Amino acid sequence: MKKNELAMLLAKENKIPESAAADELDRVVHDILRRLRKGERVSVPGLGIFKPGKTQAFRLEKSLEK
pLDDT at 1: 82
* DSSP assigned state of 53: -
Average pLDDT over residues 17-23: 96
pLDDT > 90? residue 6: yes
What pLDDT digit, counting tens, does each position of 22-58 carry? Answer: 999 999 999 999 998 899 999 888 888 888 877 766 5
Instruction: Tell me the whole-structure pTM to 2 decimals.
Output: 0.71
Residues in the chain: 66
Euclidean distance between CA atoms 66 and 53, whole angstroms? 16
* DSSP assigned state of 52: E
Measured CA to CA in angstroms, residue 23 lies from 2, 41, 42 at distances of: 14, 23, 20
